[in-house]
Amino acid sequence: YPAIDELCEALMKLDVQISVASLRADSLTESLVAALARSGHKTITLAPEAGSERLRRVINKGVTEGDIIRAVKLARDHGI
């Protein structure tokens, strides 16, 4: 969802709890992770889309090892 950051912020201002099922590593943003942390998330599920970068390329997922590592670091940096 392209406006997920804004949606999370608006819901939090209304004191609505937010929860996410799984997130693509290549679309995780610092502002989204920060919003999830502020809303009380302690864990998130990252969807690597396939077990290897080669397979992700074959099935045209566009998620790289670097995307996954960056997403994990973002989560860690925000206490998730």
Q: For residue 58, what pLDDT is reported?
A: 92
How would you class 4 by CB atoms within 10 Å of its CB: exposed for 0-12, middle for 13-18, buried for 19 or more?
middle
Residue among 4, 32, 25 nearest 70 (CA): 25
Count how many domains the chain has.
1
Domain that holds residue 18: 4-77
Q: For residue 12, what pLDDT is reported?
A: 82
Residue 15 per-residue DSSP state: T
pLDDT in tens, 7-30: 888 888 898 877 787 898 998 999
Residues of the chain with pLDDT under 50: none
Ordered DSSP codes for 50-75: SSSHHHHHHTT----HHHHHHHHHHH
